[in-house]
Amino acid sequence: MSDDFFQPVSGFELPRFAGVPTFMRLPHVPLEHERLGEVDIGLIGVPWDSGTTNRPGPRHGPRQLRDASTMIRAQHATSGMRPFEAVNCADLGDVGPNPADIMDSMERITAFYDKVKAAGIRPLTAGGDHLTSLPVLRALAKDAPLGMVHFDSHTDLFHSYFNGTMYTHGTPFRRAVEEGLLDPKRVVQIGIRGTMYDSEDRDFARAEGIRIIEIEEFHARGVEDVMAEAREIAGDGETYVSYDIDFVDPTFAPGTGTPEVGGPNSFQALQVCRELQGLNIVGADMVEVSPPFDQSGGTAFLGVSIMFEILCVMAGQAG
């Protein structure tokens, strides 16, 4: 049972437009804080988009996501879950990247998450572009490879970009498999669609045993059936959840760098998270929210609503 220190500020006590924004109005507990060891789930910002190859902006995602998250309340509307009472949650702040150096930034991110893991905290991350997932996985999967449930319109399994650039937002999971951070036979990618450069990424997935569920199959089968298979693939082992906001149709989430039409609606975007129940989730992320392409903040609010859904599942497995 979470104590009062870890309770979010209520909108009945302080208007949601007032105060210093933290994720979901939780206390800010930096890594040096005396109560860090009491945190069960830590919300973390990674304001970094140096892996972006076209439309930039996700470096501004964590700030807008934090601001939007002041609208998140204490109780899930359908399950009744009250995650902030089930476990101790806190905003652990941002990882400070080096925007001029990809390799240095990844080292900084991994070092931050090494400390998070050592403290026994499960991270819920707000990116950042999708390359963010790789240095996070380097910390979380040090002991053994993880399974992964990946919501996206792209596989992010390419070998390289621009004649040998190995680290972009289109390559993180290729590197993660090569580095032994992911068990490919316990990885499922859901929602894949859009025009293609070629079939290299899908050929790699096929060769390694990664399950790709393209959007046509997703729509034909429905959320419950698809997610039942996803849970079966991930199994009982430790699992990472990576959620690219461009999984959602751009009608509902225009604020992203590489939108693809034909995706799920905003309700389905929440439903898939609810069907993660039962998985052993050791970490999760929400990436590719790009505020310059949706200054209304609607994409960010959907993003933090998805984060709350994932948080409720993570809190339920520990509570």
Instruction: Show the 3-state SS of 85-145.
Output: HHCCEEEEEECCCCCCCHHHHHHHHHHHHHHHHHCCCEEEEEECCHHHHHHHHHHHCCCCC
Q: What is the biggest distance separating any 2 CA atoms in the chain, rounded to whole angstroms?
A: 56
Neighbours of 314 (CB within 10 A): 26
Neighbours of 166 (CB within 10 A): 13
The pLDDT, as a whole number, for residue 1 is: 56
Which tens digits make up the pLDDT trace of 288-304? 999 999 999 999 999 99
Check: CB of residue 196 under 8 Å from CB of residue 156: no
Give the three-class secondary structure for 74.
coil
Comparing C-alpha atoms, which of 158, 125, 114 is closest to residue 45?
125
Domains located in the chain, CATH noted:
38-316 (3.40.800.10)
- 38, pLDDT greater than 60: yes
Check: CB of residue 285 under 8 Å from CB of residue 132: yes
In this prediction, residues 32-50 reach a mean pLDDT of: 97
Q: Which residues are annotated as a binding site for Mn(2+)?
A: 130, 152, 154, 156, 244, 246
The pLDDT, as a whole number, for residue 200 is: 96
Which tens digits make up the pLDDT trace of 158-211? 999 998 999 999 999 999 999 999 999 999 999 999 999 999 999 999 999 999
Give the three-class secondary structure for 219.
helix
- 94, pLDDT greater than 60: yes
Which tens digits make up the pLDDT trace of 3-33? 789 999 999 999 999 999 999 999 999 999 9
Percent of the chain whose predicted confidence (pLDDT) is above 70: 99
CA distance 21 to 166: 36
Check: CB of residue 39 under 8 Å from CB of residue 89: yes
CA distance 140 to 132: 13
> What tokens does 80 get?
């009744």
CA distance 140 to 138: 6
Mean pLDDT score of the chain, rounded to an integer?
Answer: 97
Q: Output 144 or 1, whichever has higher pLDDT.
A: 144
> What tokens does 113 get?
């998450």
- 282, pLDDT greater than 70: yes
In this prediction, residues 96-101 reach a mean pLDDT of: 96
Q: What is the pTM of this model?
A: 0.97
Which tens digits make up the pLDDT trace of 236-255? 999 999 999 999 999 999 99
Q: Which residues are annotated as a binding site?
A: 130, 152, 154, 156, 244, 246
CA distance 281 to 149: 10
**Strand ranges of the sheet holding 182-192, from the earlier edge strand across to the other edge:** 89-94, 41-46, 122-127, 280-287, 238-244, 146-151, 182-192, 211-214
CA distance 297 to 52: 21
Cis upstream peptide for 42 (omega within 30°)? no
In this prediction, residues 70-98 reach a mean pLDDT of: 97
> What tokens does 308 get?
């709350």
Which tens digits make up the pLDDT trace of 114-172? 999 999 999 999 999 999 999 999 999 999 999 999 999 999 999 999 989 999 999 99
CA distance 258 to 246: 7
**Single-letter code of the amino acid located at 199:** S
Measure the CA dihedral 251/217/281/300, to 10°.
Answer: 0
- 2, pLDDT greater than 90: no
